[in-house]
A and B are shown apart, each in its own frame.
Chain A
Amino acid sequence: MLDSANLKEGALRSTDIRIPDYFHKVVDCQWACPAHTPVPEYIRLIAAGRYDDAYMVNWTSNVFPGILGRTCDRPCEPACRRGRVEDHQAEKPEPVAICRLKRVAADNKSDIRAHLPKPAARKNGLKIACVGGGPASLTVARDLAPLGYHVKVFDQDPLAGGMIRTQIPRFRLPVEVIDEECGYVLDLGIEFRGGKRIDSMKALLSEGYDAVFVGSGAPRGRDLDIPGRKEAAKNIHIGIDWLSSVSFGHIEKIGKRVVVLGGGNTAMDCCRSSKRLGGEDVKVIVRSGYDEMKASPWEKEDATHEGIPILNYMVPMEFTHRNGSLTGVLFEKVKVEFDVQGRRKLVPTGEPNQHYECDDVLVAVGQENAFPWIEREAGIEFDDSGMPVVDKATFQSTHPKVFFGGDAAFGPKNIIWAVAHGHDAAVSIDKLLHGEDLRERPAPGVTLISQKMGIHEWSYDNDVSLDERYVVPWAEPGKLKSIKIEVELGFDPLTGFKEARRCLNCDVQTAFTASQCIECDACVDICPMDCITFTRNGDEADLRQRLNAPAKNLAQDLYVQDGLKTGRVMVKDEDVCLHCGLCAERCPTGAWDMQKFLFQMTDAGPGCRTRQRKAA
């Protein structure tokens, strides 16, 4: 019997899988990655032991695989499908260790220099200045130098790397890794001017650069102006400055009792560094609750793992001191209350203030932006909060030749965002200097290729691993005392392989051709996750309730195809598909096929230029 005819009104239209965003969204990790690194592609290469290739897939997208494989803020992991599909089924549902797998590629690769682009054989005569030598500037330089641009990178510090080098402690990121990966970029024929601070934007612009990229970061740590700040200044340090002094070896010791103020990642680095420099009783004290802290969950866990208590809901009121020396910090206890508008507020509990004795305080309560070296009449507009007015797509400022990226553009973020900004700014600069419209952004490179090798054989490993997430081993406890010895050891190749197998290959897409379907239900019956339903059409909200399993995750799309003989539609909820390919294996007609969707961002160069694309 035919199901009732299609609802004409409000019925969903067939999904157009040729729109790159559709399948890109299905690759949750890649979609979430600011640089859109093809994650499953490199994870498969790691599983195949092809570490060089895995490294290069990363290098192309994110420039610093070894650095990011240790330090990335990993927005991909909370997005990873693996966490969703393990929901209710694993002890603790966990994403694939995407970030630490990147490190596996970096650690196990051979000499990859032959795969890197060569310095341009012929220069194109265009000059670019990058202010700051952090990840944002280095990405701009890497993308532009091989195209023939003359790129000069200025940094007030002697070596390139920006906060990667000056802030992130060595026990998380060894200096050799920084040297290696900054080196790959600088070896592309880039002029690096270390120890050179830019003091005037006007002067810089007058030197005749064709474009200027500002990647100067967000260097100033916010101070805490409460009573006692001046009197006890000797033992009160701004966390960021203190960390860079530690990095450069200017500071080697701290008092036995340390209070770290603030709840972000900087605070976590401060407390763990203190432990290694003589701190015995180290505490982190935060205004907010534990869950609201800005630090990433794993950073908090790592600090706790090292025996550092985190105390919440305490607002610093005063630095106490005696004879010019700090004696401690006084805190007011607060709690959360919601006002009539439902806004969260911290209000005093009324309990007596609490005093914590200490020898040193590290203030890590945020960063401020400051551009003292950019004259306000240089043609660059700033907003009320002192931030430059920057276009979110082109990274152009109100001065057509001046671009911003990284922490300098929109305030402190992280390395991978700085890299993503750098790529986009490089595209803009390349287009600008080829007389093109910057607003016309280049389309990504997309391929969709069947993975079928035989009747039941695919060119990817479709057997879903049931392993739970592997834990990265740590150095033995004795070594945790040193500020230089790396804490994490990284996965060994075998564990890396097993962790890589947890990846579901979300880029191998289920592609459906309605005209081939005979509606035998084989795919519906085999699908382990109840993703597929054949039903009469309806609007999205209605369809979401009528599927074999409720499709409650609105962030995940429904794949709808009409054109079936019974007049029904095929609806697939992408939410928890395992990409196991069983639907395609059980399909007698090949209506389902598993097709690899490779999505690559278009970097600066001929491919990003409209005219060249049209001519091609």
Chain B
Amino acid sequence: MTYITKPRLHHPTLPINKIGFTRRDYEGKISTLCAGCGHDSISAALIQACWELDIEPHRVAKLSGIGCSSKTPDYFLGSSHGFNTVHGRMPSVLTGANLANRDLIYLGISGDGDSASIGLGQFAHVMRRGVNMTYILENNGVYGLTKGQFSATADAGSKSKRGIANTEAPVDTVSLALLLGATFVARSFSGDKKQLVPLIKAALAHQGAAFIDVVSPCVAFNNHSGSTKSYDYVREHNDAVNRLDFIASREPITVDYEAGEVASVQQHDGSVLRLRKIDPGYDATDRIAAMHYIQQHQAKGEVVTGLLFVDPETEDLHAHLNTAQTPFNRLGPKELCPGRAALDKLNASLR
């Protein structure tokens, strides 16, 4: 790669957020992905969302597996914590990190191969456990990094670059997440930041397992005609159920909508999700109806996008396990190793 580094110069009027950073301060190293890869646009959307939320970069932990998608944490939030796990194991490492330090904001970045093939089991369990995280699956229907083999999310009948049709049934990650109890489920498209950025913001504010499947075309191996994950296909078949305006809890609510057009959902942290309905019949708080709708429309070849389901009254893994409020790194040796007497007491309570 002979890329130059992105010049530090930025637009003279580039705004700063409440904590004094410009959007450029949330960038990472220059991407080494193929030019035009959808994953780079998702990185840009993450940068924009974190900047808009005034997130302190050192409060974020980015974890990923293996794949082009899983490489991207190197290309955004350069001042945040990062961990590149083995293939498909991001969820378990992230769960461990989250248990050890609940104060960080957890961002899991994965691909369709990483999550739906080798990591399907890990994906399932992190959803059902309700780990407080934002899970971004950058879905291109192929193993980009290993040169374009069909992944488990490739639609049956979708054609490879060489013209061969996929014969296997796809894993539908959003339906799976719904089935497994995820409390925030969305799908979006790397080529539509207007939709994606508010979804990421809402997911980051969500106190539980938030999953966003982002269709993200692989320009090198899956952007030809006959593919169902190409820029053109997704644009032509995109069925957005709603448009989201995310309002952080501390912002006053100023936008007024006509009744009926908008459904407001208040999340646990106080943030408000304003859903401008595109499909009037769609109710994003009804898990079973959502599953039904998604199945029905996907059967017609549509790519259903938007905030598909949210359960605002959610509890995360820490609440289920009744863990200590303080992260391990702020507990002293005495609390971490309370000694023989405490152990005996605990053992006795279990007899």
Contacts and interface: CB of A to CB of B under 8 A. Distances in A.
Contacts of A87: 12
B239 to A, nearest CB: 9
Nearest to B15: A549
A311 B125 CA distance: 80
A337 interface: no
B1 to A, nearest CB: 7
B232 interface: yes
A392 interface: no
Nearest to A566: B235
A549 B9 CA distance: 14
**For B11, B190, B217, which residue has the most chain A Cβ atoms within 10 angstroms?**
B11
Nearest to A89: B9
A586 B44 CA distance: 14
Nearest to B195: A1
Interface string A548-564: 01101000000000000
Nearest to A464: B7
B10 A586 contact: no
B9 A519 contact: no
Interface string B171-207: 0000000000000000000111101000000000000
A586 B40 contact: yes
B3 interface: yes
Given A1-B238, A456-B1, A520-B219, A549 B36 contact: no
A71 to B, nearest CB: 31
Contact of B2 (A457, A525, A528, A565): A457
**For A457, A528, A566, which residue has the most chain B Cβ atoms within 10 angstroms?**
A528
Q: Which of under 10, 10 to 19, 20 to 34, or 35 or more describes the interface residues of B?
A: 35 or more
A198 interface: no
A131 B5 CA distance: 56
Interface of A is mostly: loop
B34 interface: yes
A86 B9 CA distance: 7
Nearest to B223: A518
Contacts of B219: 518, 520, 588
Contacts of B2: 454, 456-457
A1 B43 CA distance: 20
A142 B297 CA distance: 77
A522 B11 contact: no
A345 to B, nearest CB: 36
A524 B195 CA distance: 16
Contacts of B143: none
B285 interface: no
A86 to B, nearest CB: 7
Interface stretch (A258-266, A480-488, A577-585): A577-585
A462 interface: yes
A588 B7 contact: no
A88 interface: yes
Interface string B1-28: 1111111111111100000000010000
B235 A565 contact: yes
B84 interface: no
Given A566-B235, A586-B40, A521 B193 contact: yes
Contacts of B36: 518, 520, 522, 586-589
Interface string B231-249: 1100100101000000000
A81 B300 CA distance: 53
A463 to B, nearest CB: 4
Contacts of A211: none
A565 B3 CA distance: 29
A566 B232 CA distance: 9
A89 B44 contact: no
Contacts of B24: 528
A522 to B, nearest CB: 5
Contacts of A463: 4-5
Contacts of A526: 6, 40
Given A2-B235, A525-B41, A530-B11, A588 B34 contact: yes
Nearest to A521: B41
Given A88-B12, A588-B219, A1 B1 contact: no
A568 B114 CA distance: 35
Interface in B226-269: 231-232, 235, 238, 240
**For B14, B24, B36, which residue has the most chain A Cβ atoms within 10 angstroms?**
B36
A466 B7 contact: yes
Interface string B35-46: 111101101100
A85 interface: yes
Interface string A116-152: 0000000000000000000000000000000000000
Given A518-B223, A520-B219, A528 B12 contact: no
A466 B4 contact: no
B40 A525 contact: yes
A469 interface: no
Contact of B10 (A2, A520, A521, A528): A528
A270 interface: no
B40 A578 contact: no
A530 B14 contact: yes
Given A2-B235, A462-B4, A589-B36, 14 more contacts: A1-B195, A87-B12, A457-B2, A463-B5, A519-B235, A520-B37, A520-B191, A520-B219, A529-B11, A530-B11, A565-B235, A582-B4, A585-B3, A586-B40
14 contacts: A1-B192, A86-B9, A457-B2, A520-B41, A520-B231, A526-B6, A528-B8, A529-B10, A549-B13, A565-B235, A578-B9, A580-B4, A586-B40, A588-B35
Interface of B: 1-14, 24, 34-38, 40-41, 43-44, 190-193, 195, 217, 219, 223, 231-232, 235, 238, 240
Which 7 A-B pairs give the minimum distances between C-beta atoms? A588-B36, A87-B12, A525-B44, A464-B7, A463-B4, A549-B11, A520-B36
